[in-house]
Amino acid sequence: MGWTFVGYAEVNPYACAVLAARCGATRPKYMPYAEHAYLMDESEGLLARLNELSRGNGNVVQRYSEQPLDFENLNRFQRVEAYERFHETVWKQAAKELRKREELLRLHRRTSYEVIGAVPNFGDIWSITDDDLEALGPVDLLEGGSPCQAFSSAGKEAGLIDFRSALMLAYLDLVERMRRINGLKWVLWENVKGVLGDNGNGFGHLLGRLVKERGTAVGRDGLRYANAGYVSGPDGSVAWRVLDSQHFGRPQRRERVFALGYVGMGPARRDPRDILFEPVGEGSAAPRKKKPREEAALALSGRSAGDVPRSERLAVFMAGQTKAAFSIAESRTVCPTLRSVSSGSNSVPRVAYALDEKAGRSADPSVAAPHYVVRKLLPLEAERIQGFEDGWTEVQVNGQVMPDVPRHACIGNSMTVDVMRWIGQRLDEAMDAGVEGKAA
């Protein structure tokens, strides 16, 4: 599409290996610190940031307490107890983060891969300096998705006191610095649908900071944001929308929030609604072209409709999933959401398929029937469901092909190619015709 990527920020060694092999990225320049004292300082800094965003420590405690809390009606002793419980929760999060960082650094030390490109991978997003940004030159678009686990119904929903989701704050800092240093115009942020109902109003923090530099959160505590909306302020405007991969030609039930913001300075202000929304009557983003019952079989097999036998009416399901995780027990049209979890029964969807014509089109197929086989989704099939080229994650790590588990994690952590292409094409159309050298 004519875009040039001028930098990345990734610390997972397997994802770094894919970026190095497919996108010419370097090894991470910065890694997160894994010292206890440093994590304590980070926790204090995070609390200070949340205080600033929430207009007071009482609001922070109330927002992120594990139990509903009417802070204003507590007596002095109850407030002290509430503060202590809250800080204990924060320190627990810091201890978990320390263990994860220690394991990450150990994993990096025992992981090797070839690097042939020179596009900088900055690694830890908190550590990117102004000098790093100045070396990039003009940048049109900053795109990314901060870790989603703490906003997900499949996770603990800890919100911004979870260090992973707190990376959203680093992302917002980067937006403001790149706006000043690189002339940044557009921001595209992606996350799970659960962020729209985060107890700590994390999505409101994102919107508030994008439309006003150092701004406070829009909305209020307990607000459940609509699946699509728009906010405008003195320094930018943001449109957001929930997009589902199954509506873009990929048989995967994958609902994600995409927030597109225009943060460029100067009089030539653009409206992100023109890109993310369609006019009334235009129809869905990408109407299906295949019959629903063919979609799963076609996507997984990579074959045309005429080459798929009637017996291969695939049933795709997620073993062990819970109702709260919005899973489906069995489907012949779409796959459950691909996830980045590397262990447990929820990590990789299962596929049930018939071995011969006799077991083909039963009205109620049973995965335990003699003529059916159940197996995990293959990385190749997961790549197809996400819209990647076959073998995109089949790269060399430690002298051999990357194992299936980290390949699935890389794929599940990514964004569906068809959805990103649709946004990119509409963004292209909105930018000046003939402008080349667009940088992201």
In whole angstroms, give the CA distance from residue 235 to residue 110: 45
Q: Contact, 232 vs 269, CB < 8 A?
A: no
Q: What is the residue whose two structure tokens read 């667009």?
A: 438
Structure tokens at 226: 């609509």
Per-residue tokens: 383: 């790549």
Asked if 144 and 175 count as a contact pair (C-beta separation under 8 A), the reply is no
Q: Report how far residue 49's alpha carbon sits from residue 44's, in angstroms, rounded to the nearest whole number.
A: 9
Residue identified by tokens 């927030």 is 259
Token reading at 401: 């092909």
Cβ(72)–Cβ(79) below 8 Å = no
Beta strand 141-144 pairing with 372-376: unpaired
Catalytic residue among 16, 23, 148, 410: 148
Rounded CA-CA distance 15/407 in Å is 8
CA distance linking residue 247 with residue 15, whole number of Å: 27
Position 20, amino acid: A
Other CB atoms within 10 A of residue 399 CB: 8
220-225 LR contacts (CB < 8 Å, sep 24+): 221/59, 221/62, 221/63, 224/196, 224/197, 225/196, 225/197
- How does DSSP classify residue 286? S
- Partners of 233 in the beta sheet? 236
Query: What are the CA-CA distances from residue 356 to residues 4, 115, 353 (Å)?
Result: 48, 46, 9
- Looking at residue 335, what DSSP letter applies? B
Q: Is 148 a catalytic residue?
A: yes
Active-site residue list:
148
